[in-house]
Amino acid sequence: MSTRLIPSLVAVSTSLLLIVGCAAGPDDESAESAESAEGDDGASMPTVETDTVGTTGSGLDCRCPAGQEFQNGLCYRACPAGWSGEGPVCWKPCVSGFTDTGFFCHRNSSIISANTSKCPWYNKCGLGSSCSTCPSGYSKDGCTCRRDAYIYAQESQGRGAGTTPSCSSY
């Protein structure tokens, strides 16, 4: 058996034990301690709603100052119009036709048929002449037109360290 396989088997078996243990639920002793953690007055643990500008949690209303947005428990300076914020960084969207892959924008390569309708019968691909045409952004390769793959770093700007929101009871 490969030495690389052993750590993988250990990780899988550990995960299965955790899943089976969680699926089985608490035993009687754990259930009693969970009930006692609820308290004498019947109050329960607070719940938090996330991914909203004003996050609320069991009697708390948290807000960011004007010009800032709430994200992951902190307030950050708002990004320029059209940009998106992820923590302390603002990201400019990729230009049309490109796919956002995180830090980069990419466009796949493409090969299509050239327009050879103006080429004579003896030179149908227009080799050595200008009778075959390609759309803008494509290179002419005789009977085909080619657009190479292209990748560029996505433009970004920092928006500083997050600050704590102000929270009040309601």
Query: Within this chain, do residues 118 and 89 fall inside the same structural domain, yes or no?
Result: no
Query: Within this chain, do residues 32 and 100 fall inside the same structural domain, yes or no?
Result: no
Cα–Cα distance measured from residue 102 to residue 154, given in angstroms and rounded to the nearest whole number: 8
Structural domains in the chain (count):
3
Judge if pTM exceeds 0.75: no
Domain carrying residue 88 = 48-108+160-170
Alpha-carbon distances of 143 from 111, 113, 127, 134, 139, rounded to whole Å? 10, 6, 8, 10, 11
Query: Within this chain, do residues 81 and 125 fall inside the same structural domain, yes or no?
Result: no
Query: Within this chain, do residues 21 and 101 fall inside the same structural domain, yes or no?
Result: no
Confidence category of residue 36, pLDDT binned at 50, 70, 90? very low
Query: Within this chain, do residues 92 and 170 fall inside the same structural domain, yes or no?
Result: yes
pLDDT in tens, 104-119: 999 999 999 989 888 8
Query: Within this chain, do residues 6 and 21 fall inside the same structural domain, yes or no?
Result: yes
Q: Is residue 153 part of a domain?
A: no
Query: Within this chain, do residues 101 and 166 fall inside the same structural domain, yes or no?
Result: yes
